[in-house]
Amino acid sequence: MKADLSAVKGRTSLCVLFCMHAAAMAAYAVPFPNVLKSHGLSDWAFLAVSTGSIASFISPMFAASLADRRIAPERLLAALTFLSGSLLALVHASVHFHWGPQWFLGLMMAYALSNAPGFSLVTSIVLSRLSDARREFAPIRVWATWGWMAASFIVSRCLHLDQSPIAGYIGAAIFLAESLFCLSLKPTHPPPGRAPRRWRDVMGWDALPLLRHPDHRLIFLTSAAFSAVMSTLYVHTVPHLSAGGDPTPAATMSLAQLCEGIAMLGISGLLLRFRIKWLLIAGLSLGILRYLLLATDYRPAMIASVALHGPLFVLFYMTSQIYLELRIDPAIRAQSQALLSIMNNGIGNLSGYLAIELWHRHCLLPDGATNWPRFWSYLAAAATLLTTAFATLYRGQPRSPHHPNPSNPA
């Protein structure tokens, strides 16, 4: 009985950790463009958002190396969330009190560096405490979705802070509370003798040899390419919904998070029944369908495409995280998750923002409107090529003739 209560308490603390981390980010991220616009900084919004992608190349692997080799990840996360909360408050103070764009962008870059390792660290902490990641991870990970939705709703609908820097102060307060909560978690210290001795150890490059394995390399590269293709979720879907006559595009976009949460409740059963390969292909295929629906320029189909983003996110991105947990040496658990974060948030999102923005300009009509069917059709074609390449090249682990129903992760 005591063991059962301890297990429940442990899972609850992991749910709270995911919930707090996502809530802190959502509290400021959702209203952030409107806050900048209302304070005369809208011209700097693209650079501000880009700091996250730039930071994804720098700090996640370094922090992951510390977590794998020197510092208990729970204590490292406590330090990083304290730093993130402090810097996020200063970022919004620079907006609130008009310190100027130089201070704003400098503080934003510092915040991005401290926050970039956060989500992959939370993921590695949770996965390290699970005995069966395929069965247990999704019901815990879904609390990040609930935390994001709750913070967005409270900041926007209850407190009406869509244009106020106070939203950022709330996010900062949640980060500081998370820092204290991390100190209550039992630390999981790295094995003795794992302290970094070489420069590559310090920088967290132990995960780079994973790219030599054909399946691992394909997972990382496909994840980066899919992130690039899917990076248009908010940037271009919201204007398309508005142009299509949707009076509340922000509320429509919340369908993505709602459906993501629902999909997470069912992913555990799928992971136990199907090979990871087919779940990844299903996620990629939903990406194709999402863009084909948007290309119809028909509002009900467009709303359905937003709802599809949740299932495709769960089927592809969360399954990729489970793949790493099942196929990668636990000694580099945090570094492998950090490398996946770099491929998604760094290489994928940054290249996607730039390339798709250039493509969007090619789809502008003489009156300034966008040729949305053309815009989305070509992205659907790109997603189709990516899905075909992955389905052709991925091999996976062979099934054992003695265990035809895979407990194997392939």
HEC-encoded secondary structure of 285-319? HHHHHHHHHHHCCCHHHHHHHHHHHHHHHHHHHHH
* Residues of the chain under the 50 pLDDT cut: 1-3, 5, 401-406
Q: What is the pLDDT of residues 55-74, one digit of tens each?
A: 988 888 888 778 777 788 99
**Could you give the domains of the chain?**
1-203 (1.20.1250.20), 206-410 (1.20.1250.20)
Model pLDDT for residues 255-308, shown as the tens digit of each residue: 888 898 899 888 888 988 999 999 999 999 999 999 999 999 999 999 999 999
The answer to whether 111 and 91 are in contact (CB under 8 A) is yes
Q: What's the pTM value of the predicted model, to 2 decimals?
A: 0.80
Please give the Cα distance from 79 to 71 (Å, whole number). Answer: 11
Residues 6+ apart with CB under 8 A from 251: none
Helix axes 372-393, 349-362, angle to 10 degrees: 140
Q: What is the SS3 assignment for 400?
A: strand
Q: Tell me the CB-side half-sphere exposure of residue 395, using CA atoms within 13 A.
A: 7
Q: What is the pLDDT of residue 404?
A: 46
**Which of 387, 363, 386 has its CA nearest to residue 376?**
363
| Inter-residue contact 279 to 388 (CB < 8 Å) | no
The DSSP bridge partners found for residue 370 are 364
Distance CA 330, CA 338 (A): 13
> What is the reported pLDDT for 409?
54
